[in-house]
Amino acid sequence: MSGGLLTDLYEVTMAASYLRRGMTGPATFSLFVRKLPPDRGFLIAAGLEDCLSFVEDYRFSQEDLDYLAVEQGLDDASLRAFERLRFTGEVRAVPEGRVVYPGEPLLEVTAPIAEAQLVETVLLNHVTFQTTVATKAARCVRAAAGARVIDFSFRRTQGVDAAMAVARASYLAGFAGTSNVEGARRYGIPATGTMAHSYVEAFPGEGEAFAAFAADFPDRTTLLVDTYDTIAGVEAAIRTARRAGLPSLAGIRLDSGDLGDLAVKARSILDEAGMTGTLIVASGGLDEHRIADLAAAGAPIDVYGVGTKMGVSADAPYLDSAYKLVAYADRPVMKLSTGKITAPCAKQVYRGADGDVVALRDEPAPDGMEPLLVPVMEAGRRVAGPDPLDAVRERCAAEIAALPDRITRLRAPESRPVRLSARLRRTRDRLYAELAAGHRAAGAGPLKER
Sites for a copy of itself among residues 159-218 (CB under 8 A): 159-163, 165, 179-182, 184-185, 191-202, 205, 207, 212-213, 216-217
Q: Which is nearer to a copy of itself, 248 or 308 (CB)?
A: 308
Could you write out the DSSP letters of every residue in 188-208?
TPPB-----HHHHHHSSSHHH
The b/e string for 134-167 (b: 16+ C-beta within 10 A; e otherwise) is: bbbbbbbbbbbeebbbbbbbbeebeeeebbbbbb
Residue 257 engages a copy of itself in binding (rule: CB under 8 A): yes
Rounded least distance, CB 218 to a copy of itself, Å: 12
Rounded least distance, CB 274 to a copy of itself, Å: 21
Q: Is residue 25 a contact partner of residue 329, using CB atoms and an 8 Å limit?
A: yes
Choose the stretch contacting a copy of itself; rule: CB under 8 A; options: 228-236, 263-271, 291-299, 365-373: 228-236
Residue of 179, 147, 133 lying closest to 292 (CA atoms): 147
Q: Which of 80, 86, 423, 448 binds a copy of itself (CB under 8 A)?
A: 448
Choose the stretch contacting a copy of itself; rule: CB under 8 A; options: 126-134, 370-378, 385-393, 410-418: 126-134
Of residues 327 through 346, those in contact with a copy of itself by CB under 8 A are 328, 333-340
Q: Is residue 223 a contact partner of residue 210, using CB atoms and an 8 Å limit?
A: yes
Q: Is residue 314 a contact partner of residue 160, using CB atoms and an 8 Å limit?
A: no
Distance in angstroms (rounded) separating the CA atoms of residues 100 and 356: 9
Q: Which of 69, 79, 231, 418 binds a copy of itself (CB under 8 A)?
A: 231
Q: Which is nearer to a copy of itself, 14 or 407 (CB)?
A: 14
The b/e string for 377-395 (b: 16+ C-beta within 10 A; e otherwise) is: beebebeeeebebeebbeb
Distance in angstroms (rounded) separating the CA atoms of residues 6 and 252: 45
Residue 65 engages a copy of itself in binding (rule: CB under 8 A): no
Q: Is residue 173 a contact partner of residue 134, using CB atoms and an 8 Å limit?
A: yes
Choose the stretch contacting a copy of itself; rule: CB under 8 A; options: 253-261, 270-278, 389-397, 405-413: 253-261
Rounded least distance, CB 313 to a copy of itself, Å: 8
Q: Which is nearer to a copy of itself, 297 or 444 (CB)?
A: 444
Q: Which of 109, 325, 376, 396 binds a copy of itself (CB under 8 A)?
A: 325
Q: Is residue 40 a contact partner of residue 315, using CB atoms and an 8 Å limit?
A: no
Total residues interacting with a copy of itself, rule: CB under 8 A: 113
The SS3 call for residue 383 is coil
Helix (H) or strand (E) holding 92: strand 90-93
Q: Is residue 44 a contact partner of residue 173, using CB atoms and an 8 Å limit?
A: yes
Rounded least distance, CB 355 to a copy of itself, Å: 28
Rounded least distance, CB 115 to a copy of itself, Å: 13
Q: Which positions ≥6 away from 3 have C-beta within 8 Å?
A: 59, 60, 61, 64
Of residues 387 through 446, those in contact with a copy of itself by CB under 8 A are 435, 438-439, 442, 444-446
Q: Which of 53, 59, 83, 156 binds a copy of itself (CB under 8 A)?
A: 156
Of residues 23 through 52, those in contact with a copy of itself by CB under 8 A are 23, 27, 29
Q: Which of 90, 96, 108, 226 binds a copy of itself (CB under 8 A)?
A: 226
Of residues 261 through 320, those in contact with a copy of itself by CB under 8 A are 308-309, 312-314, 317-319
Q: Is residue 165 a contact partner of residue 184, using CB atoms and an 8 Å limit?
A: no
Q: Which of 40, 142, 290, 324 binds a copy of itself (CB under 8 A)?
A: 324
Number of C-alpha atoms within 13 angstroms, CB side, residue 289? Answer: 9
DSSP code for 277: T
Residue 11 engages a copy of itself in binding (rule: CB under 8 A): yes
Q: Which of 58, 82, 87, 154 binds a copy of itself (CB under 8 A)?
A: 154
Q: Which is nearer to a copy of itself, 67 or 407 (CB)?
A: 67
Q: Which of 236, 241, 286, 372 binds a copy of itself (CB under 8 A)?
A: 236
Q: Which is nearer to a copy of itself, 10 or 406 (CB)?
A: 10
Q: Which is nearer to a copy of itself, 331 or 406 (CB)?
A: 331
Q: Which is nearer to a copy of itself, 48 or 369 (CB)?
A: 48
Rounded least distance, CB 447 to a copy of itself, Å: 6
Helices 259-272, 230-243: inter-axial angle, 10-degree rounding: 30
Choose the stretch contacting a copy of itself; rule: CB under 8 A; options: 87-95, 122-130, 389-397, 412-420: 122-130
Q: Which positions ≥6 away from 119 have C-beta within 8 Å?
A: 7, 54, 55, 58, 87, 109
